[in-house]
Amino acid sequence: MTILTINGTEISVEVDADTPLLWAIREEAGLTGTKFGCGIGQCGACTVLVNNQPVRSCSVPASALQGQAITTIEGVASAGQLNPVQQAWLEWDVPQCGYCQSGQIMVATALLKQAQDNAPPSTDFIKQQMNNICRCGTYNRILPAMHRAFELAQELAYDATEQES
């Protein structure tokens, strides 16, 4: 038995030592937002956050992640409110078929968390980090959506500061 902390909740899963995290999330925890794409860690459809860092869940054993904070697409919205990346994705019509979008959003959310205390990353850095594969070719919408997500995050931070005053 392996105990995983997924979206802030401890979940006991019955998996073999080499079972990929992806299958523990989907089949044992019942969270199906994380998708299977290639099975070899290249496409990024299966990306989740482990301690706020993007990880391709098809290529890491679930048993290796006991005690780590795992966040899936189901865990990024708070109290039913979309996070800035999800909101920007909708504003810029990024998803077409939507299959790869949970992985895309998870990578973008990690970038957003890394940049919250600093200046937004450069366009080149975003392009370098957003390396998931999308068969629909929505890449040209991702970059402006990322810039919008940073704007939304700054607005939320400003609003939170105003409410504290």
Could you tell me which residue, 161 or 68, shows the higher pLDDT?
68
Q: Which range (18-22, 36-40, 95-99) has the least confidence?
A: 95-99
| pLDDT per residue as tens digits for the range 93-128 | 998 888 999 999 999 999 998 876 667 788 898 889
Percent of all residues in the chain with a pLDDT value above 90, rounded to a whole number: 70
Specify whether the CB–CB gap between 63 and 19 falls below 8 A.
yes
Widest distance between CA atoms in the chain: 51
Task: Indicate the length of the chain as a whole number.
Answer: 165
pTM of structure: 0.90
What domains appear along the chain, each with residue ranges and CATH number?
A: 2-75 (3.10.20.30), 84-164 (1.10.150.120)
What is the percent of the chain with per-residue pLDDT over 70, rounded to a whole number?
A: 93
Q: Does 49 have pLDDT greater than 80? A: yes
Confidence of residue 165 (pLDDT cuts 50, 70, 90): low
Mean pLDDT lowest among 45-49, 74-78, 155-159? 155-159
Quote the tokens at residue 148.
């919008």
65 closest CA partner among 102, 141, 11: 11
